[in-house]
Chains A and B, each alone.
Chain A
Amino acid sequence: MNAHRSPSEEEIDRLLASRLRDTTPEFEARWRDLRRELRQTPAARRARPSWWPGLAAAGVAFAAVLVVYHPWSTPATRPEPRFSEDFAELFAMDDILGRATPLLDPENRDALLHLPANPSPSSPLP
């Protein structure tokens, strides 16, 4: 190369595009050895770690729990029922009667409860 000549663009292109013609016998021998080793270790699909199925199952179970229980949605607080003061007497009476002994035995009480409220006039009187 001329010591004072700047390389042309074509020269740079050609140099950059150049490739080696051949390999060396030593390289080919190394490849044969390597190929022999690779033959003994067949290409295997990358193994997933042994804990992978357990982790996947735990994830699915956790998702199911979330879906079922919705822990992120807080239940609406039910307001305390407020009653009119007019009912106070009724509630007091209910408390007293709740503790009272039934006047009728259970069989007669059920029978009375199932009697029609408005008996038909055609029913024979005793």
Chain B
Amino acid sequence: MNSALTFSFFNRLLTGFLSSRSDFAQPVEDSSDTTRAMLRVAAGDDGALQLLFDRWKLPLLSFFYRALGSHADAEDLTLEVFVRLHRSAADYRPTARFSTFLFHIAHNLLRNEYRRRRRKPAQPVAPESFDYVPAEPGSGQALAELEEVFQRALLRLPGKYRAPLLLLQQQQLDYPEAAAVLRISENSLRVLIHRGRRLLKTEMETIT
């Protein structure tokens, strides 16, 4: 919980610090540890890859789990992101924030997975696995039910709404960054977010 909060704090801090950047294509001064670690991975530093894994495994797992509803698939895709990261490390240039680069890979994998899977049964995790539900069993029954309804409703949404909602709200990307990851305009992103939230709410009401 503490580590998640600490990560969220620093992620927001970093996002705020870099929010003045408007041109995605221009090189940016990204002073984050992740960018330096990526350059070290390219140089063959094995410890740097572990650093990146420790820093980004939970954001990626959470992103894939919410988008797919399957913990096993979320784990597979998270590991695949790190394989691709390792493979592309030598060609990596910090022309954008590292999180943009990382979630661009993740989103491509997610789209491939959407195309690949016809219908797979959801493999839900215990509600206590999420950071907002109290860890003590039985202490957050209402929240556990809410979690189940939410995840089911999220999976009923068309895929085009899920990734934008998660990138903005779960991963705390700003609009320009999320739009760059999704390769859409900011206006299109705003429309998707607005419709996605409305649909999500409707689905949650329907399920309950």
Contacts and interface: CB of A to CB of B under 8 A. Distances in A.
A, B co-complexed? yes
A44 B90 CA distance: 6
Contact of B165 (A16, A20, A23): A16
Chain B contact-residue range equals 35 or more
B31 interface: no
A60 B197 CA distance: 56
Interface in B139-172: 142, 145-147, 149-150, 165-166, 169-170, 172
A82 interface: no
Interface residues of A, number: 33
Given A35-B49, A38-B83, A18 B201 contact: no
B79 A20 contact: no
B110 interface: no
B131 to A, nearest CB: 5
Interface in A18-34: 18-24, 27, 30-31, 34
Contacts of B204: 6-7, 12
A45 B87 CA distance: 8
Interface in B93-123: none
Contacts of A45: 90-91
Contacts of A17: 132, 169-170, 172
Nearest to A17: B169
Given A18-B170, A30-B75, A34-B83, 14 more contacts: A1-B208, A6-B204, A6-B205, A7-B146, A12-B200, A15-B132, A15-B147, A18-B133, A19-B58, A21-B131, A38-B82, A42-B44, A43-B41, A43-B88
16 contacts: A1-B142, A1-B149, A7-B146, A15-B146, A15-B150, A17-B169, A18-B133, A21-B1, A21-B129, A21-B135, A23-B61, A34-B79, A35-B49, A35-B53, A38-B82, A43-B88
